[in-house]
Amino acid sequence: MVPESAWPRGITLWILVLLAALVPLTSGCSPSSQASTPRGTEIVVFVDFSDSTKKADRVLYEQAVTGQILPTLSAGDRLLIAPINDKTLTEFHPLVEATLPPKPAFNGWLDNVLKHNKEAKEIDTQVAHLRETVKTQVAAVFARRYTSAYTDIFSSLLIAKKLFHNEPRHKVLVLLSDMIEDYPPYRFERVAWSPETNQKLLSELEAKGMIPDLSGVCVYVSGVSGGSAELAQNIGSFWQAYFQRTKADMDPSRYAHVLLHWPPSTSCSF
């Protein structure tokens, strides 16, 4: 073997330059690490179908789903829509459930670009078709007449924790409700609100195991209202304190009468 010292100077420099160019391409990379697939988003929507919900509110709820949420669904996302009623905890069942196929992972070392692009376009077509299917299902849901004496938001949040358990996707919870809990013994319209009320209610709920851990969950609330501005403000203050206890990502700007700051990618701390 010819010793390195005997190589012509020009050849030695050329080899060093070539090796330096190859290092960024190979360092820390392997065929498997080149493949990547977006995580997608798990969107859980709870809709208030209690008797206290007005027809105009339901129209707003449907518009939020079909006009804002559905158009932003993309490959790899999952959508689940469920009711808020007086049997949320005991008889839970989704009204709509759909999982969109993920985009194929691309491996720059092994995959054929043309084949990958073709598969990606096929996925886009499937996603568009599923969105239309879900839109039809949502219309059918809102066309039904539901009967529920009470609004049990607390139970919906306990269910949300179970739905998000070990979920690898980004987690988003949307509550379409006036947020006026009235499931006994918590009837917000009858509460004598004061600076001490929030702490008293939170301590009681925590003792009953009714404040779930929603760490990593981005929360939206749409449909907020009340018999008076003062009542709406008091209830809003309570829910802000409540979601803070759950460790959820609940920015006050996402608690409103309509669905604001959607989609989540521009609002949530993912």
Residue with more model confidence, 246 or 5: 246
Residue 11 lies in a domain: no
**b/e map of 181-214 (b: 16 or more CB within 10 Å)?**
bbbeebebeebebeeeebeebbeeeeeeeebbeb
For residue 65, what is the DSSP state?
Answer: I
Global confidence as pTM: 0.84
Residue 33 lies in a domain: no
Query: Residue 182 has what pLDDT?
Result: 92
For residue 25, name the pLDDT band (cuts at 50, 70, 90): very low
Which SS3 state, helix, strand or coil, does residue 222 take?
A: strand
Residue 28 lies in a domain: no
Residue 12 lies in a domain: no
Closest C-alpha among 205, 78, 206, 190 to residue 134: 78
User: Residue 194 belongs to what domain range?
Assistant: 41-104+112-266
| CATH number for the domain harbouring residue 137 | 3.40.50
- Find tokens 């069942």 and name the residue: 93
For residue 20, name the pLDDT band (cuts at 50, 70, 90): very low
Domain count for the chain, please give it.
1
Residue 217 lies in a domain: yes
Residue 82 lies in a domain: yes
For residue 118, name the pLDDT band (cuts at 50, 70, 90): confident
Question: Above 70 in pLDDT, residue 154?
Answer: yes
Q: What is the mean pLDDT of the chain?
A: 85
Residue 256 lies in a domain: yes
Q: Which of 1-15, 174-188, 204-218, 230-244 shows the lowest mean pLDDT across its residues?
A: 1-15
Angle 219-51-193 (CA atoms, 0-180°, nearest 5)? 60
Residue 194 lies in a domain: yes
- What pLDDT digit, counting tens, does each position of 55-72 carry? 899 999 999 999 999 999
Question: Above 90 in pLDDT, residue 50?
Answer: no
